[in-house]
Amino acid sequence: MVRRQDDVRSIKSHKVIFIGDPSVGKTSIITRYLYGAFDTHYQATVGIDFVSKVVPVGPDRSVKLQLWDTAGQERFQSLIPSYLRDTAACVVAYDVTSRKSYDSVKKWVEVVRKERGEESGVVMFLVANKKDLTDMREVSSEEGEQLATKFSMTFSELSAKTGSGVPELFLSIAQKMPSEAPRPSAQDSNNVEISLDKGNAATQHKNGCAC
């Protein structure tokens, strides 16, 4: 059944922010989900981008996810706290081939907790990307699961390159969203999808994506 445009507009938006070190694959994960594509030549994200997508979670319910893609570079990290204030879910990503990015998870979790508090109600996900690179792996699945348990996060291991585990992640996010959501403080869109390269919520920039 085709959803009418006014029905799409009536669906509550839930803000989901992706954070993590540079090059762990935040943009790649979002792009794989939205467009079923993977590009080996991404440029680093500058500032913060966002896209929106309606996700069916049942025969009578759909959830609109506002996916915010953040830059991991240190010079942009000061922007992130302000975008956490009305976030419904936070995805902390690391690269299974980079022990350093795994060790940084604690820092990213602390950024969220400092801004939102321990009992903020933000749903937290820990995502291990690049599981297809088995010969280069530095972080085991068990370590990822243990860290997720430590920080009370939902754990997913996936590959943005092959697409394995990506749809399941976004369905899990959508399923955990409440029926009602606070109105986003940043400009929302009534479109089902907004291209990542149409602009920057923090600052205007040339087309930028970070893998």
Q: How many domains does the chain have?
A: 1
52 in any annotated domain: yes
Domain membership flag for residue 85: yes
Residue 205 within a domain: no
Residue 204: CB atoms within 10 A of its CB come to 9
Considering only residues 176 and 116, tell me which one the structure prediction assigns the higher pLDDT: 176
Residue 49 to residues 35, 40, 82, 192: CA-CA distances in angstroms?
Answer: 16, 19, 14, 15
Q: For 35-92, write each residue's pLDDT tens digit.
A: 999 977 655 554 467 899 999 998 888 999 999 998 755 555 677 788 888 899 999 9
Each residue of 31-42: pLDDT tens digit?
999 999 997 765
* 194-210 confidence digits (pLDDT tens): 444 433 443 333 334 44
Rg (CA), the chain: 16
Q: Is 133 part of a structural domain of the chain?
A: yes
CB 184 within 8 A of CB 13: yes
Q: How far is CA 109 from CA 8, 97, 179, in A?
A: 32, 20, 25
Domain residues for 164? 10-178+191-198
Residue 14 lies in a domain: yes
**Strands (DSSP E) found in 4-115:** 13-20, 48-58, 61-70, 89-95
Q: Which residues pair with 125 in a beta bridge?
A: 91, 154
Place of tokens 């902390």: 92
Residue 27 belongs to domain with CATH number: 3.40.50.300
Report the predicted TM-score, pTM, of the whole model to 2 decimal places: 0.79
